[in-house]
Amino acid sequence: MTTVRREAFGRMPPEQGEGEVEKFVLQSDSVRVEILSFGCIITNLETKDRDGKFSDIVLGFDTLEGYTRKHPFFGAVVGRVANRIANGRFSLDRKDYQLFINNGPNSLHGGAKGFDKVLWSPQVLPNGVRFFRLSPDGEEGYPGDLKVWVTYTLSGRELAINYLAQSSKTTPISLTNHSYFNLAGQGSRDVYDHEFSIEADSYLPVDNTKIPTGEVAAVQGTGFDLRQPVELGKHLQKFHLDGFDHNFCLHQGQDRRLVARVFHPPSGRTMEVHTTQPGIQFYTGNNLDGSLKGKGAATYPKHSAFCLETQNWPDAVNKPHFPNVLLHPGEEYNHTTWLVFNTA
């Protein structure tokens, strides 16, 4: 049985258009999650350890102010296109489009004011909440009026996130949730003692601006082979890696499949990621630097969290051999990701 509660969380600052921000609390016997109508942001996610004790396992802020300032997309839904587009440029139907450049020479996570920085219209469901917004034609440089619905539902140990969209013009689209997890509890020092596995035979090598080179490389015999569980700290040392910020290529198909698993031996917490998406970005919080004050005055140093962002492959709009990222009028973009929390 899931209960859903809504409450006021704050008011948008005048320079960002004012408006009331609401918080939605979804609770089952084993999971409690809090989500804002601003950016569809997951602010809290509490799960049990093996002794039945709840801890909040996502990074974030105590107040709305933290989320309206610059931060690394904590908990937010990002779009229209998650991840990077090279030089913020693409061509469609012989027309060139230029997006806002906000990550080195590239466009990242939707641009200057992506889906993470806007108010959505909420609708309470029996076991969750659905958010809607219309992204107007030309917003952040993207073509077409895009109607978007993001639905969070909680059932027992499973949190489902469904993304649905329709466009009046052909547009690239790739939506994801950008939660930063630490299964030891947010504010814990690092995730080196977490064990990770990702069901992927290949990954995308990137250039020095994090844009895929176009090669689809086999993980076999490399530090990117995570098909069997690895303890992160030891694995980074063994392969002399500074961390991960890479797309892993998943087995194609529209069906739900298990794509990643994380286990934290000290607490017994496990997290499984199931999805219909063709890719997953594994990011180990390499750019966190301890400068942000998070929940309960916690600081978030490098490698103090991980992200598993289900998505289309980065820069797919410029790489025809990558999975199709275009949504045409009359079609529907429809993807779901499921997070399943257990103890071992």
In angstroms, rounded to a whole number, what is the distance separating the alpha carbons of residues 303 and 242?
Answer: 9
Q: Give the span between the Cα atoms of 121 and 130, in whole angstroms.
A: 8
Return d(Cα 313, Cα 87) in angstroms, integer. Answer: 16
CA distance 164 to 335: 7
Strands 279-283 and 307-311, bridge-based pairing: antiparallel
Distance, in Å, from the CA atom of 141 to the CA atom of 79, rounded to the nearest integer, reads: 12
User: Does 174 carry a binding-site annotation?
Assistant: no
How many residues are given for the chain?
Answer: 344
Q: Is 321 a catalytic residue?
A: no
DSSP 29: S
Give me the catalytic one of 178, 246, 303, 335: 178
Identify which of 125, 121, 198 has the alpha carbon closest to the alpha carbon of residue 160: 125
- Cβ atoms of 335 and 277 within 8 Å: the answer is yes
User: Is 56 flagged in the annotation as binding?
Assistant: no
- 271-306 b/e with 16+ CB inside 10 Å = b? bbbbbbbbbbbbbbbeebeeebebbeebebeebbbb
Is 309 labeled as catalytic in the residue annotation? yes
- Is 321 flagged in the annotation as binding? no
- Neighbouring-strand partners of residue 38: 119
What does the alpha-carbon distance between residue 44 and residue 26 come to, in Å, rounded to a whole number? 10
Instruction: Write out the H or E segment, with its range, that includes residue 341.
Output: strand 333-343
69 appears as a binding residue in the annotation: no
Query: 300: annotated binding-site residue?
Result: no
Distance from C-alpha of 173 to C-alpha of 109, rounded to nearest angstrom: 11
Please check if 287 is assigned to a binding site: no
Which token pair is 182? 């630490």
Q: Which of 22, 139, 195, 309 is catalytic?
A: 309
Say whether 192 sits in a helix, a strand or coil: coil
Binding residues for beta-D-galactose: 83-84, 178-180, 245
Annotated catalytic residues are: 178, 309
